[in-house]
Chains A and B, each alone.
Chain A
Amino acid sequence: AQSVTQLDSQVPVFEEAPVELRCNYSSSVSVYLFWYVQYPNQGLQLLLKYLSGSTLVKGINGFEAEFNKSQTSFHLRKPSVHISDTAEYFCAVIRTGTASKLTFGTGTRLQVTL
């Protein structure tokens, strides 16, 4: 079975500062990786995904993530955050090539302040 660990439950950051949200996964088989964002009182929206190929993945709203197989990590980064980036961010993993289900991390609350 797959699992995802998001070590930081909350990350406070000032506007225009860079941010990194950490995600580590555990799996004995190949996986696909995702980052979702949840704005207050809304559903989850796909930010970006890693399926194969280049390990640096770019998503919406200026976010990017890097897949590191040796460290089993998929950290999310943004060079300069905006107030509107305040949200909950979820990392998720799924086995490749099967009808398996997404497994989510516990989420990281990004709080951007002036």
Chain B
Amino acid sequence: NAGVTQTPKFRILKIGQSMTLQCAQDMNHNYMYWYRQDPGMGLKLIYYSVGAGITDKGEVPNGYNVSRSTTEDFPLRLELAAPSQTSVYFCASTPSFEINYGYTFGSGTRLTVV
């Protein structure tokens, strides 16, 4: 089992460029999440999805978009990169709200916007 796979691991973007952070899980989990981690700030929820075709905003959604066309994939889109989006991005998943399992996290994508 690969778990949660995030690509790329590192990326440098110029201001105004766009990119998609990929997240895939092979555990048939319904719930998927995108968090960003900034030093001293913990993890902030950007978007989440409770199943294919269903997404919703988290705490800090501005500047991002998501889609969930399949159970496995939950890509995060940055349309116009800004320096404030420099961060480490984590994708996570869980089977349902039976949270006995906790969340399974990917290894992260470190993004720098210059």
Residue ranges of A at the interface with B (Cβ–Cβ < 8 Å): 9, 32, 34, 36, 41-46, 49, 51, 90, 94, 97-102, 104-107
Q: A99-B31, A101-B45 are in contact. Are A43 and B97 (CB under 8 A)?
A: no
Q: Are A46 and B42 in contact (CB under 8 A)?
A: no
Chain A-chain B contacts (Cβ-Cβ < 8 Å), number = 51
Q: Are A45 and B42 in contact (CB under 8 A)?
A: no
25 contacts between A and B (CB under 8 A): A34-B102, A36-B105, A41-B108, A42-B107, A43-B4, A43-B90, A43-B105, A43-B108, A44-B90, A45-B105, A46-B102, A46-B103, A51-B100, A90-B43, A94-B99, A99-B50, A99-B97, A100-B97, A101-B45, A101-B48, A102-B33, A104-B35, A106-B40, A106-B41, A107-B40
Q: How many residues of B contact A (CB 8 A)?
A: 24
